[in-house]
Structure 1
Amino acid sequence: MLVLTILLVVSSEGLRGVLQDTFAYLASYPSLFLLFLLFGFGVAVASSYIHFHLAKRGNASSTTPLTCYDCEQQHKTKSSPKSNKKAKRQADNVGILAMEVYFPANYIDQSDLEQYDGVGAGKYTKGLGQDKMSFTGDREDNEHAGVTKNGHFFDVAANDFVLFHSPYNKLAQKGFSRIVFNDFLRNPTLPQYDKLKKWHGAALEDTYYDRDLEAASREVSLALWNKMVEPSCFASRHIGNCYTASVYINLACLVDSARATLHGKRLMLFSYGSGAVGSIFSFRCVRPEATDVAVPAFTVERMSDCLNLASRLNSRLKRTPEEFNGHLDLRQASHGLKSYTPVQSVDSLFPGTYYLVGVDDKHRRKYARKPLNAPLTYVALPSAAVATATTVATHPITAVATSPVAAIKPALVEVLVTGVAAGAPGIVGADLTSLLEGVNCIQRIPDAAKHAMVAKRVVQLKKDGASGAIRRLPVTTINQTIQLAAPMAVVDLVKDFGLPKSLVEGMDDASACAVAAGLRALQQAGLVAGTVENGWGNWRLPDAMAASTGVLFAASFPALDACVKEVSRSFTDPAYEFDRKLLFRLLVLANSQLAQIVGAKGPNAHVNATCAGTTVALTMAQDWIRSGKCQRVVVISGDVASNDTLLPWIGSGFRSLGAASIAANVADAALPFDTRRNGMLLGSGAVGLVLEAAGASTIQRFPSGTPSVSLVASQLSNSAFHGASLDKEHMAQELNRFLQAVESEHGIPRAALAAEGVYYSHETCTQASPTTSCSFTELYMLRSAFGDAGLDTLVLANTKAFTGHAMGVSFEEVIAVEGLKRGLLPPVVNFASHDEHLSPRPLRLSQGGAYPHVKYALRFAAGFGSQIAFTLYMRK
Structure 2
Amino acid sequence: MQTLKRAVITGLGALTPIGNNVTDFWNNLVAGKSGAARITKFNPDPFRTQFACELKEYDPAKFLDRNDIRKTDPFTQYALIAAQQAVTDSGLDFSKMDPFDSGVIWGSGQGGMLTFEEQVKEYTLGNFVPRFNPFFVPKLIANMASGMISIRFGLMGINYTTVSACSTSNTAIMDALNYIRLGKAKVIITGGSEAPITEASVGGFCAMKAMSTRNDDPATASRPFDTERDGFVMGEGAAALVLEEYEHAVARGAHIYAEVAGAAMTADAYHMTATHPEGLGALQAMKRALEDAELTPRDVDYLNAHATSTPVGDLSELAAIRTLFGEAPEHLHISATKSMTGHLLGAAGAIEAIASILSINNDIVPPTINTSNPDPAIPAGLQIVMGNAVQKKVSVAMSNTFGFGGHNGIVVFREVK
Same fold (TM over 0.5): yes
Q: How does 1:276-425 map to 2 (within 5 A)?
A: 411-425=3-17
Q: Does 1:658 align with 2:193?
A: no
Determine the C-alpha separation between the residues in 2 that align with 1:847 and 1:875: 26
Q: Write the distance in 2 (CA, Å) between the matches of 1:739 and 1:426.
A: 30
- The 5 Å alignment of 1:210-225 reads none
- Checking the alignment, whether the CA contact within 8 Å between 2:39 and 2:51 is kept in structure 1 is yes
- Post-superposition Cα deviations, 1:664-721, rounded to whole Å, max 9, x if no partner, equal 213552211112211111111111011011011422234xxxx631010011222222
1:717-732 equivalent positions in 2, closer than 5 A: 717-727=266-276, 728-732=279-283
> What residue number does 1:482 align with?
49
**Matches for 1:535-550 after TM superposition, within 5 Å:** 541-550=94-103
Gaps of 5+ in 2: none
Residues 395-438 of structure 1 show CA distances to partners (whole Å, capped at 9, x for unaligned) of: xxxxxxxxxxxxxxx95321101111110126444423223433
Structure 1 residues 511 and 819: alpha-carbon distance in aligned structure 2, compared to 1, 3 A threshold: same
Aligned match of 2:339: 801
Q: Which residue of 2 is the match for residue 861 of structure 1?
A: 401
Inter-partner Cα distance in structure 1 for 2:292 and 2:154:
36
Query: Is 1:750 matched with 2:315?
Result: no
User: Aligned runs of 1:560-571 on 2, under 5 Å?
Assistant: 560-571=113-124
Deviation at 1:581, TM superposition (A): 2.1
Preserved contact between residue 760 and residue 858 of structure 1 (Cα < 8 Å): yes
On the 8 A contact 1:611/1:864 being kept in 2, the answer is yes
Could you tell me which of 551, 569, 580 is aligned with 2:104?
551
Aligned match for 1:624, one of 179, 190, 193: 179
Q: 1:449 aligns with which of 43, 47, 58?
A: 43
Q: CA deviation at 1:732?
A: 1.9
Cα gap change, 1:759 to 1:602, in 2 (>3 Å): same
Identity of matched residues, %: 21
Aligned partner of 1:484: which letter?
A: F
Aligned pair in 2 of structure 1 residues 448, 415: CA closer, same or farther (>3 Å)?
closer
Asked whether the 8 Å contact 2:268–2:280 carries over to 1, the reply is no
Aligned pairs for 1:591-606 within 5 A: 591-606=146-161
Matched letter for residue 62 of structure 2: D
**Does residue 1:507 correspond to 2:59, yes or no?**
no
Looking at structure 1, the residues matched to 193 and 289 of structure 2 have their Cα atoms a distance apart, in angstroms, of: 27
Give the CA RMSD over aligned residues: 2.5
Q: Which runs of 5+ in 1 are unaligned?
A: 1-386, 388-409, 454-480, 529-540, 768-772
Does the 8 A contact of 2:106 with 2:192 survive in 1?
yes
Partner of residue 237, structure 1: none
Q: 1:673 to 1:545 in 2, by over 3 A?
A: farther
Verify the 8 A CA contact 2:147 2:159 in the aligned structure 1.
yes
Residues 859 and 636 (structure 1 numbering): CA distance in 2 closer, same or farther, change over 3 Å? closer
Kindly state the Cα deviation for residue 846 of structure 1 after the two structures are TM-superposed. Answer: 5.2
Shift of 1:785: 0.8
SS of the residue corresponding to residue 547 of structure 1 reads helix
1:586 maps onto 2:126 in alignment: no
Whether the 8 Å contact between 1:633 and 1:691 is mirrored in structure 2 is: yes
CA contact (8 A) 1:515 1:636 kept: no
Whose helix proportion is higher, 1 or 2?
Answer: 1
Contact 2:335 2:367 in 1 (8 A): yes
Distance of 2:290 and 2:147 partners within structure 1: 34
Whose RCO is larger (CA < 8 A, sep 6+)?
2
Cα distance change on mapping 1:833 and 1:601 into 2, 3 Å = same
User: Take 1:775 and 1:640, find their aligned partners in 2: how far apart are those partners?
Assistant: 24
Q: CA deviation at 1:853?
A: 1.3
Contact 1:775 1:838 in 2 (8 A): no
Give the partner amino acid of 1:510: F
| Counterpart AA for 2:31 | E
Paired with 1:835 and 1:842, the residues of 2 have a C-alpha distance of: 12
**Aligned-partner SS, 1:696:** helix
Relative to the length of structure 2, the TM-score reads 0.90
- Find the aligned partners of 2:356 and 2:76 in 1 and give their Cα distance: 23
User: Is contact 1:487-1:640 (8 Å) kept?
Assistant: no
Give runs of aligned pairs for residues 33-432 of structure 1, distance below 5 A.
411-425=3-17, 427-430=19-22, 431-432=24-25
2:308 match: secondary structure: coil
Rounded Cα–Cα distance in structure 1 between residues aligned with 2:221 and 2:59: 31
Q: 1:734/1:699 Cα in 2 relative to 1: closer, same or farther (>3 Å)? A: closer
1:851 match: 391
Alpha carbons of 1:700 and 1:662: their partners in 2 closer, same or farther (altered >3 Å)? same
SS in structure 1 of the partner of residue 105 of structure 2: strand
Task: Specify the code of the residue in structure 1 equivalent to 2:331.
Answer: T
Number of residues of Structure 1 aligned to a counterpart in Structure 2:
406
Name which of 353, 372, 379 aligns with 1:832: 372
CA distance in 2, matches of 1:794, 1:841: 10
Residue of structure 2 equivalent to 1:3: none
- In the aligned structure 1, how far is the partner of 2:325 from the partner of 2:313? 18
Q: Is the 8 A contact 2:173 2:190 kept in 1?
A: yes
Offset of residue 649 of structure 1: 1.6
Q: Which amino acid aligns with 1:424?
A: T
Alignment match of 1:689 (pick from 234, 241, 254): 241
Does structure 2 retain, via aligned residues, the 8 Å contact 1:491–1:513?
no
Offset at residue 515 of structure 1 (A): 1.2
Structure 1 or 2, whichever has the larger Rg, is: 1
Letter in 1 for 2:29: L
Query: What's the CA shift string for 1:786-814, capped at 9, x where partnerless?
Result: 11022x43101111111111111122111
**Letter aligned with residue 496 of structure 1:** K
1:496 aligns with 2:62: yes
2:225 to 656, 668, 673: 673
Task: Name 1:776's counterpart in structure 2.
Answer: 315
Matched, 1:737 2:274: no
Deviation at 1:577, TM superposition (A): 4.6
Aligned 8 A contact 1:825 1:848 in 2: no
For 1:584, give the aligned amino acid.
P
CA distance in structure 1 between the aligned counterparts of 2:377 and 2:106, rounded to whole angstroms: 37
SS of the residue aligned with 1:714? strand
Distance of aligned partners of 1:502 and 1:708 in 2 relative to their CA distance in 1, 3 Å threshold: closer
Shift of 1:763: 0.3
SS of residue in 1 equivalent to 2:365: strand
* 8 A contact 1:834–1:842 mirrored in 2: no
Which amino acid is 2:192 matched to? S
Task: Return the offset for 1:568.
Answer: 1.5
